[in-house]
Amino acid sequence: MDMPAVRQRLEAEKARLRGVLDAAGRGQGTQEGGKPDQLPAEQAAETLNRELDSSVELRVRTELAEVEAALHRLDIGRYGLCEVCGGEIAEARLEAMPAARYCVADQARAERDARQRAGR
Ligand SMILES: [Zn+2]
C-alpha cells in the first residue's frame, strides 16, 4: 500500500469537503491554515449553495469526519486496519473507499446495528 499516495488522496478529499462546507457558508475552523487554496470547486460553489440542504451538509460533515479519522490512523500507523477486529482491510476496498474504517464483515455488522438503532 502506497501510504504517501493514500495521504495525498485523503488530504485532497478533506480539502474538497471543506470547500463544499465553505461554499454553504457554514464551514467551521477553515481559517486555521490561512492558505487560500485555489480550488476549482469555487465555480461550482453557487450551484452547491443552492442544492446544499441540511441532509447533504450532514453527509458532507460525516464524510469529512471519516477522512480526518483516516488521516489520524495514518499518523498513528493504524491505517488499513479494521477498528473492530484489528484485521487488515482489503486493499481493493481501501482503493474504492480510502476512509474505510472497518473490514467488510464489520462494516456490514455496523450498518445492521445502525439500522436497528434507527428502529427499522
Ligand atoms: Zn473487522
Q: How far is the centre of ligand 1, averaged over its atoms, from the C-alpha of 93 (Å)?
A: 13
Confidence of residue 52 (pLDDT cuts 50, 70, 90): low
What sign does the dihedral 19-21-25-31 (CA atoms) show? negative
* Short-list 5, 2, 1, 10, CA closest to 99: 10
Stronger pLDDT, 96 or 1, i.e. the higher one: 96
Q: Tell how far the Cα of 100 is from the centroid of ligand 1, in angstroms.
A: 11
Distance 107 CA to ligand 1 centre (A): 7
Determine the pLDDT at residue 34: 44
User: Which ranges in the chain belong to alpha helices (H)?
Assistant: 3-23, 41-51, 54-75, 91-96, 104-117
Residues 59 and 20 sit within 8 Å (Cβ to Cβ): no
Ion ligand 1: protein residues whose beta carbon lies under 5 Å: 82, 84-85, 87, 103, 106
Whole-prediction pTM: 0.69
Encode pLDDT of 1-36 as tens digits.
889 999 999 999 999 999 999 887 654 444 444 445
Q: How far apart are CA 114 and CA 119, in angstroms?
A: 9
Other residues' Cβ atoms within 10 Å of the Cβ of residue 75:
10
**Domain boundary assignment for the chain:** 1-79, 80-120
Q: Give the Å distance between the CA of 101 and the centre of ligand 1.
A: 9
Using the mean position of ligand 1's atoms as its centre, give its distance from the Cα of residue 43 in Å. 40
- For ligand 1, the distance from its centroid to the CA atom of residue 103, given in whole angstroms, is 4
